[in-house]
Amino acid sequence: MPPSPLGYVGVKLFFLLRDLWEIVLNDYSKGALEALAWVQQLVKKLKRDPDGWARLEGEMEAAKNDMLNGIGVDFRDRLRLGV
């Protein structure tokens, strides 16, 4: 296995941060952080675009629809299982 470009300390730091991510943040907090990071990247990408706000709104609406469609796929199964 080739040596890591991060070096030993970088690899240890990576695993420490990964473990902290799992321990410190609950699922709700992880989801909120991921959503904020996604919106931040979209804003950064679209801020010089004259239609940026409209495109941002479209991206967010599409993401919401993807989530709602995904939730609906197995809704009845989850009800039966009591999940």
The pLDDT of residue 62: 94
Domain borders along the chain are 1-48, 49-83
pLDDT exceeds 60 at position 83: no
pLDDT band at 74; cut points 50, 70, 90: confident
- Please tell me the distance from the alpha carbon of residue 21 to that of residue 52, in angstroms, as a whole number: 32
pTM recorded for the entire structure: 0.55
Which structure tokens are listed for 76?
A: 């009845």
The pLDDT of residue 21: 65
Radius of gyration over alpha carbons of the chain, in Å? 19
CB 60 within 8 A of CB 81: no
pLDDT digits (tens, 9 = 90+) for 21-61: 666 667 788 888 889 899 999 988 888 899 999 999 999 99
Comparing 3-7, 49-53, 54-58, 70-74, the range with the smallest average pLDDT is: 3-7
Phi and psi at 7, nearest 5°, equal 80, 175
